[in-house]
Structure 1
Amino acid sequence: MDLEDRVRALEDRGEIERLKYEYARRLDDDEFDSVVELFTEDATYALEGWGTHEGHAEIAAFIETTLADAFEYTAHVMHHPTIDVDGDTASAEWYLEIHYALADGTAGWRQGRYFDEYEKVDGEWLFSSMSHTILARQRSEYEVVEDERYGEIIEYGAPR
């Protein structure tokens, strides 16, 4: 692999990392209607416990209704990716931690792994497949409180 190929591989990896972080940011910022733009037209989106959704229409409907209605707050943390690039396709495994508050009055965190496939379309990396599995979780009651230092925050209660 010559220098140009090695630089391209590093650039591809950086673009794929940015794509994953953008996915998390859009979910956390309630930009649900724009998340589907990060996927290929024929992508598959399969979240453990939430079913499998295929293509832009199904993915958008699921995110904009089910996810948007279920969560009051999310903070996704993606880390330790293993990214393999092969030309205009790539695959990756990521560790996930998500802190969340649900509409049912509970909050908690989940830890798991994402398994992604990517395609470069018109020079831009997009998700062609995304799935995840949850390995651990904790849930408890919560309330929103006013903190002297941080302002309005979520305060966890006793585990459920």
Structure 2
Amino acid sequence: MNQEAAVQQLLDRAEIEQLRGEYAMCFDAHDLDGAVACYAPDGEVQVGGDEPVRGRETLREWYGELNELMGEWSHHYTSATLRIVSQDEAEGRLYWLVPANWSDGRAHLQAGQYHDIYRKIDGRWRIQRRHATWFWSRFMEWPGNWAQRDPLD
């Protein structure tokens, strides 16, 4: 790999890392337009063995339903891999932990991974395919709303 290609690969990796963070922050803030903009126009999400949800408009509706169900949450990425496959394709995995306060008031904690395919479209990286797999998901006893608690209490 020549120096120009190596620099481009570093720039691509940095943009994809930014995309990963942008997705999490938009989704956590219930910014559905921002979260869906992280996907390719024909991008998709598949959760476990469920049928994939495809296309930005369908993804927006699907994420809206999740917002109503899950209430408030916060993505925390832990371990990650990223491999640039070609000039316009990359793949990676992200492990995540998500504490949440469901809309019905129950506290919830889940962990899993995203297996992503990224595609460069019009010079910008987007999520082409995201496959989410849960390692575990538990409701738990927690006094009050974790998002509103003072960490020093």
What does residue 148 of structure 1 align with? Answer: none
The residue correspondences of 1:31-46 to structure 2 (distance < 5 A) are: 31-46=31-46
Query: How far apart are the structure 2 equivalents of 1:9 and 1:51?
Result: 33
**Considering only aligned residues, what root-mean-square deviation do their CA atoms show, in Å?**
2.1
Offset at residue 15 of structure 1 (A): 0.7
Question: Higher relative CO (CA 8 A, sep ≥ 6), structure 1 or 2?
Answer: 2
- Unaligned runs of 5+ residues in structure 1 are 146-150, 156-160
Offset at residue 80 of structure 1 (A): 1.9
Aligned partner letter, 2:91: S
What does residue 63 of structure 1 align with? Answer: 63
Residue 153 (str. 1) matches residue 143 (str. 2):
no
User: Would you say the 8 A contact 1:144–1:154 is kept in 2?
Assistant: no
Decide whether aligned partners of structure 1 residues 104 and 49 sit closer, same or farther in structure 2, where only a CA change above 3 A counts: farther
User: Would you say the 8 A contact 2:24–2:35 is kept in 1?
Assistant: no
TM-score for both structures, normalised by structure 1: 0.84
What does residue 129 of structure 1 align with? Answer: 129
Q: Which has the higher strand share?
A: 1
Residue 72 (str. 1) matches residue 98 (str. 2):
no
Query: How far apart are the structure 2 equivalents of 1:19 and 1:49?
Result: 25
User: Would you say the 8 A contact 1:114–1:132 is kept in 2?
Assistant: yes
Offset at residue 58 of structure 1 (A): 1.0
Decide whether aligned partners of structure 1 residues 114 and 33 sit closer, same or farther in structure 2, where only a CA change above 3 A counts: same
SS of the equivalent of 2:37 reads helix
Offset at residue 42 of structure 1 (A): 0.9
TM-score for both structures, normalised by structure 2: 0.88
Query: How far apart are the structure 2 equivalents of 1:51 and 1:67?
Result: 16
Query: How far apart are the structure 2 equivalents of 1:154 and 1:74?
Result: 16
Identity of aligned residues (%): 26
User: Would you say the 8 A contact 2:23–2:34 is kept in 1?
Assistant: no
Aligned partner letter, 1:144: N
Please list the CA deviations of residues 65-89 of structure 1 after superposition, one character each: whole Å capped at 9, or x if unmatched: x111012211101232211112111
What does residue 52 of structure 1 align with? Answer: 52
Offset at residue 49 of structure 1 (A): 7.3
Runs of 4+ aligned residues of structure 1 deviating over 6 Å after TM superposition are none
